[in-house]
Amino acid sequence: MTVAGACRRQPRIAIVGAGISGIAAAVALRRAGFGDFTIFEKGPDFGGTWRDNTYPGLVCDVPSRYYQFTFAMNPEWSQLYSTGSEIKEYLCRTARTHGLDRRTEFRTEVVGAEFSGADWRVTTARGEVERFDFVLCATGFLHHPKKPDIPGLEEFAGPVIHSARWDPAIDLTDMRVGVIGTGSTGTQLVGALAGQVPKVSMFQRTPQWILPTINRAYSPLAKALYRRLPVLGKVAYGCNRATFAAFSQGLVHPGLIRRVIQWVVERNLRSVRDPELRRKLTPDYQAMCKRLVVSDRFYQVVQRPDVELVTSGIEQVQPRGVITADGRRHDLDILVLATGFDSHAYMRPMAITGTDGRTLDQAWAEGPRAFEGVMMPDFPNLFMLVGPHSPFANHPLTAVAEAQSHRIVRWLKRWQAGEFDSVAPTRAATDRYNARLRAAAPGTIWTTGCQSWYLGKDGLPELWPWNPGAYEKLIRRAPDPADYTVSPAQSAFRAASGK
């Protein structure tokens, strides 16, 4: 072994979160030869949002053969769009196949991380403090349930349950169910509960455009072929990627794709026979301005006699039901809140402190901002996966996390070789980057006149405003040194390694 090789540093790395992005990062580290890392996971298992969400009818709205890691192609998907439990099983299997269970501390919540000037001090909810050279925040952005501010909600006599905290022990037999929310979760819940309970009341604030699909099951023959010929999985992944690339053009540019999608969803809406019900279900904004809801049965079940669409606003909740603005009382036995998440929280409420005592809350006082979705000025050696402006509408987060992991590994290899001790983007580079994003946002579909969880405090979408391929190309290229503040490696190490 050479002297330089003998002196190669091994970074101590903390990964916060064991969902999609945490698994992607950890596998990338292992494949690159980095073994000194610890995954901190506040839950009991891998899976992140797919572990936490178990409500009836949960199905991913991205095709199974695209919603997976390129390093762990799964030939066993049961259907075109996978159930939540199947995705959770896939993520757990992938993590354990790569030995991540031996590097993970489950039921260990990270509550704080502070940069000392030399390393990061990571604090858990148990009060334990560990030191690391790098912190990778893989917390995602769909993990803090958002509850509506409705008068009397706490007075309801029956169970009130958020969709992300579903209790499988609840027996819905003979229950009248109220579902608040009409996004993907609400439509899936109604689709699953209709016909299984005496009545479902769906409380709609804003109607959604529904993209029709057929969730066909894969036959035993198809699975056998995917097992025997792995190239088929790669071909399917590539075809889905090309389809989503074409779809993304409609999100970021006006033109044919937008018109085609609009025609498809309007034609789908015409399957609702009752003109009055169809009117209530008709949005007043363009398709894709909000995240498209993908469903193969919602318009069928919403026309059932045991399903009621309630469009009058909720005035208050009483112990035995809901009072709407039209004065009606809706008697209910259980309320399900399909009201989404605080998608702008990211790593918070984790307290993160960078250089000169600068906190994450201070840095994000005007809203979450980052450089190229993965780093922030004043927070050296801290990386984010699926950070601000890196999510892209219906694009799979598996692909985003893999691309960002590539960038992180590149920096770690440079640190290992003794090129620097700490690195963070400059404020000037971060400002320029975010100015470019804001300048491009008005041309996207998300600014055409609707309110959605995509939008930040400034009314602009916190999404990548170009196609996802452009982001992956950006994040995989070599970083420009001019965009970063780099602290040189200690002279002792440089001398020993011959640098």
**340-to-149, 155, 182, 394, 413 alpha-carbon distances in Å:** 13, 21, 10, 16, 38
Say if 148 falls within a structural domain: no
End-to-end CA distance of the chain: 16
Say if 379 falls within a structural domain: yes
Same domain, 204 and 93: no
Helix, strand, coil shares, percent, the chain, to 5: 35, 20, 45
Same domain, 165 and 70: no
- What values do phi and psi take at 341, rounded to 5? -135, 165
Q: How many domains does the chain have?
A: 2
CATH of the domain at 7: 3.50.50.60
Same domain, 328 and 213: yes
Beta-carbon contacts of 450 under 8 Å, excluding residues fewer than 6 positions away, are: 206, 283, 285, 286, 289, 290
Same domain, 72 and 95: yes
The answer to whether 440 touches 465, Cβ cutoff 8 Å, is yes
Say if 405 falls within a structural domain: yes
Same domain, 332 and 349: no
Last residue within a domain, chosen from 291, 318, 337: 337
Say if 299 falls within a structural domain: yes
pLDDT in tens, the chain (499 residues): 333 444 578 999 999 999 999 999 999 999 999 999 999 999 999 999 999 999 999 999 999 999 999 999 999 999 999 999 999 999 999 999 999 999 999 999 999 999 999 999 999 999 999 999 999 999 988 778 888 999 999 999 999 999 999 999 999 999 999 999 999 999 999 999 999 999 999 999 999 999 999 999 999 999 999 999 999 999 999 999 999 988 889 999 999 999 999 999 999 999 999 999 999 999 999 999 998 999 989 999 999 999 999 999 999 999 999 999 999 999 999 999 999 887 777 898 999 999 999 999 999 998 899 999 999 999 999 999 998 988 776 789 999 999 999 999 999 999 999 999 999 999 999 999 999 999 999 989 999 988 887 888 888 888 889 988 899 899 989 999 999 999 987 643 443 344 3
Last residue within a domain, chosen from 318, 337, 356: 337
Q: What is the pLDDT of residue 492?
A: 37
Same domain, 412 and 493: yes
Q: What is the pLDDT of residue 457?
A: 80
Say if 461 falls within a structural domain: yes
The answer to whether 366 touches 428, Cβ cutoff 8 Å, is no
Same domain, 137 and 240: no
Distance CA 217, CA 208 (A): 26
Same domain, 361 and 454: yes
| Domain range for 257 | 153-337
Same domain, 275 and 177: yes
Say if 173 falls within a structural domain: yes
Distance CA 20, CA 384 (A): 13
Q: What is the pLDDT of residue 66?
A: 96
Task: Say how many C-beta atoms besides its own lie within 10 A of residue 242's C-beta.
Answer: 11
The answer to whether 250 touches 265, Cβ cutoff 8 Å, is no
Same domain, 412 and 463: yes
Say if 415 falls within a structural domain: yes
Same domain, 317 and 347: no
The answer to whether 51 touches 142, Cβ cutoff 8 Å, is no
Same domain, 366 and 431: yes
Q: Pick from 399, 404, 408: which is nearest to 468 by CA? A: 399
Last residue within a domain, chosen from 306, 337, 368: 337
Say if 102 falls within a structural domain: yes
